[in-house]
Amino acid sequence: MRFGRFISRAAVQLRAPSAIASYIAIILLSSFGISAAYAAEAAALPDISIAIGGSEVASNGTVSTSLKIVFLMTILSFAPAMILCMTCFTRIAVVLGMTRTALGTASLPPNTVITGLALFLTCAIMGPIFERSYKEGIKPYMDGQMGQEEAMVKASTPLKEFLVRHAREKDLALFLQITRSEIPKNPIDVPFLVAVPSFILSELNTAFQIGFLIALPFLVLDMVVSSVLTSMSMITLPPVVISLPLKLMLFVIIDGWHLIISSLVKTYQVP
């Protein structure tokens, strides 16, 4: 009120019209009133708190809480790459794709079906490993019972054991030479920079071996059909027209999908 009277007196002294002085005073008083109301409303807002696991993330959270959030977001952002390169997804997807090619059905089953089946099989095979990582490293860290470095080591140990167990020694030696790393005394001491590419290379090699064994009977059947058609002087008839129904019938009779999936699952040694 004192500030408004001061503005009014100043306007009168400057010989301004009384209407203009009153208008200026009303604007200033209104702006100060809005600012005071906004400040009071901001002061009345409660502090934000978010609960993650057994720890509380407050608006004035500590550094360790921020690191927990950063660590969680980093894992989520790298999840697709981890599924492709650090699980059995690669072998399963390659074998199923080569099976489709050997059958001669270019688009059946579609890519979405193969990818979905490979993903669910990956979850079934890698389930015990992920559960062990969660119990030994992630859960104690989220509950505040373990430090960050120790939790990372505990959580990554089961996955590293899986990678090294299913990687060939020659592939491990190759990437140890490429990265110029020292030869570790224990398999658990192999760095991820060596274990991951060695595992991928081994998975591709094994997947192509399985794919060759699957495609070999169908190749023989194609050669037999082609020879029969040639001997009958039916050169204009494509061999695929005859061989495709025969391959499908043979694959269904032996229950091929069941045999392939069960064989793929048995190739992994998961405790």
User: Are 90 and 159 in a shared domain?
Assistant: yes
Please report whether residue 203 resides in a domain: yes
Looking at residues 143-153, what average pLDDT do you find?
75
Rounded to the nearest 10 degrees, how much is the dihedral formed by the CA atoms of 90, 92, 98, 103? -160
User: Are 16 and 148 in a shared domain?
Assistant: no
**Distance in angstroms (rounded) separating the CA atoms of residues 91 and 125:** 12
Please report whether residue 178 resides in a domain: yes
User: Are 192 and 124 in a shared domain?
Assistant: yes
User: Are 166 and 239 in a shared domain?
Assistant: yes
User: Are 26 and 121 in a shared domain?
Assistant: no
DSSP state of 237: S
User: Are 104 and 208 in a shared domain?
Assistant: yes
**Distance in angstroms (rounded) separating the CA atoms of residues 246 and 225:** 9
Please report whether residue 179 resides in a domain: yes
Please report whether residue 70 resides in a domain: no
Please report whether residue 230 resides in a domain: yes
User: Are 34 and 86 in a shared domain?
Assistant: no
Confidence category of residue 205, pLDDT binned at 50, 70, 90: very high
pLDDT attached to residue 68: 63
Residue 223 has pLDDT above 70, yes or no: yes
User: Are 124 and 196 in a shared domain?
Assistant: yes
C-alpha 4 chain-centroid distance: 63
Better-scored residue on pLDDT, 84 or 39: 84
User: Are 87 and 157 in a shared domain?
Assistant: yes
pLDDT attached to residue 67: 64
User: Are 82 and 40 in a shared domain?
Assistant: no
**Distance in angstroms (rounded) separating the CA atoms of residues 100 and 226:** 20
Q: What is the pTM of this model?
A: 0.67
Which residue segment(s) compose the domain that 26 sits in? 2-44
Distances (CA, A) of 264 to 93, 118, 138, 145: 11, 11, 29, 38
Total number of domains in the chain: 2
pLDDT attached to residue 151: 76
Q: Which long-range contacts (CB under 8 A, 24 or more apart) does 190-198 make?
A: 190/160, 190/164, 192/156, 192/160, 192/163, 195/160, 195/163, 195/164, 195/167, 196/85, 196/86, 196/163, 197/171, 198/163, 198/164, 198/167, 198/168, 198/171, 198/172, 198/174
Mean pLDDT rounded to a whole number for the chain: 74
Better-scored residue on pLDDT, 116 or 56: 116
User: Are 151 and 108 in a shared domain?
Assistant: yes
- Alpha-carbon Rg for the chain, nearest whole angstrom, is 35
Please report whether residue 62 resides in a domain: no
pLDDT attached to residue 66: 65
Of the ranges 72-76, 166-170, 223-227, which one carries the lowest mean pLDDT score? Answer: 72-76
The answer to whether the beta carbons of residues 104 and 240 sit under 8 Å apart is yes
C-alpha 212 chain-centroid distance: 29
Please report whether residue 142 resides in a domain: yes
Which tokens sit at 271?
A: 């405790």
Please report whether residue 71 resides in a domain: no
At 235-268, the pLDDT tens digits run 777 777 778 888 888 888 888 889 888 888 888 8
- Give the helix ranges, DSSP H, for 134-191: 139-142, 148-165, 169-178
User: Are 24 and 138 in a shared domain?
Assistant: no
